[in-house]
Each structure stands twice: as C-alpha cells, then as structure tokens.
Amino acid sequence: MKILARNRKIFYTNYEMVFYALDGDRKFVFPCNDYGELDSDSMTVEEMQFFEDCISKNVGVSDPVVEETSKSFIASAIGVCDVCINQVVIDSARNMCSGCGSEYDYHGHSLDRLPLVS
C-alpha cells in the first residue's frame, strides 16, 4: 500500500458568543467568528429566536462575551489499495478496502493471507 497521507494532529480555534444567566450557573452559547459576528447560517430557527431573546434582554442574561477555545483531533492516514487502487482510511488495527475487501494494518501492511503451498 502506498500511503497518501500519514495520520496527523489538526489544531483549530473555535469562537462562541456566550451569554451568562444572571440567576445561576447556566450559559447560552452561539457560534460566531473571532470578531463576535454571529454565524446564523449554522443555527436553527429556534436557536435564532433564542439568540434574539438574549440580545433584547427578554431573558435574564449578561452582555455577550466572545470566548475562544483551542481544540484538536487526529486525522486518519489514507492509503491506496494495492489490489484495486481505491483509497483506504487507516485508523485502526484492521482496515478494509471498500472496493475489494483487502485488509491492511495500522501501518498500511497487507493482512491478506497468502495462499498455502502444497
């Protein structure tokens, strides 16, 4: 198997507009960019209505603050099947090609058994 991409750690930053409830430990979180501009495209109608309630102070909340969180995840390795040249995601001890059923280990080595010699 030829490895197209090794597994790697991906880092990204997430921004959220947060309103803290004045009467307790609750907080109301809405997606935004690093400038605090609301990402309304990713919100449902109900979430938009609740956001409007928070902005207009119809609910007991603080002024909004923008909070930044750093997150990461491991992106799986990708290889090319030796048999049928389909791409195979390599993310476990046994990885199967969806095209032909060939199996590969975590390093991209074939796990298919060789025929017995008589």
- DSSP E strand stretches across 1-118: 2-5, 8-20, 27-31, 65-75, 77-80, 87-90, 95-96, 103-104
Give the start-to-end residue ranges of the domains of the chain: 9-73, 76-104
One digit per residue, the tens of pLDDT, for the chain of length 118 reads 999 999 999 999 999 999 999 988 899 999 999 999 999 999 999 999 999 999 998 889 999 999 999 999 999 999 999 999 999 999 999 999 999 999 999 999 999 765 556 5
98 Cα distance to chain centroid: 22
Q: Is the whole-model pTM more than 0.95?
A: no
Q: What is the pLDDT of residue 67?
A: 97
- Residue 102, C-beta contacts closer than 8 angstroms, at least 6 positions apart: 81, 82, 83, 84, 96, 110, 112
Enumerate the β-bridge partners of residue 21: 61
